[in-house]
Copies of this chain bind each other. A is one copy, B any other.
């Protein structure tokens, strides 16, 4: 039961991140295969990083065919329908926030299942949530979003901390949605209102 619940959250996050990876690939004018590869790496990168860091090897992404099919199909879909997907750019920001919310929770919960305490598990949840996007940006030659926007990793850490606490006290799984929700709402408010971190003293924002 627990496994099915987490599997659905995990695959949902993978699909959403794969979509952002595919869109970056389309904008970089990669061909169909390149777009699919970038979608796969963006979708699976965070989870593979988490699994390696907690010693859950081989990572689920290589062991369970659904983990490969979801980002591949998503990537190919974006490639063929990208004018339509591109038009809905704002909805993509929403989907990216949803991915962040889903991954911070599944990352934290899986880390606790492998014996980590609340705070380390929360950190691992954050790493899971931001890892795929970091790989996407490095591979595409962009400045990683995590460096430019303080309210990207912070909501992920908050959601992961809530999820790790709930899981530690064996609260019913339905409550995990609170953790997902806090991360998503916080992230979306930051995007909508343009909240920004301060620049170093003496440097103006371009």
Contact = CB atoms under 8 A, between A and B. Distances in A.
B147 A38 contact: yes
A111 interface: yes
A53 B80 CA distance: 32
A26 B200 contact: yes
Copy number of this protein in the oligomer?
3
Interface string A64-97: 0100100000000001101100000000000000
A165 to B, nearest CB: 16
Interface string A16-59: 00000000011011111111011000000000100011110111
Interface in A180-200: 196-200
Nearest to A135: B138
A112 to B, nearest CB: 11
B62 A123 contact: yes
A146 interface: yes
B32 A116 contact: no
Given A25-B147, A37-B147, A198 B58 contact: no
A8 interface: no
22 contacts: A31-B148, A31-B200, A32-B197, A32-B198, A33-B150, A34-B148, A34-B150, A34-B197, A37-B147, A52-B52, A53-B62, A54-B58, A55-B55, A58-B124, A62-B123, A62-B127, A68-B123, A80-B200, A80-B201, A82-B200, A83-B201, A141-B143
Interface of A: 25-26, 28-35, 37-38, 48, 52-55, 57-59, 62-63, 65, 68, 79-80, 82-83, 111, 114, 116-117, 119-120, 123-124, 127, 138-139, 141, 143-144, 146-150, 153-154, 196-203, 206
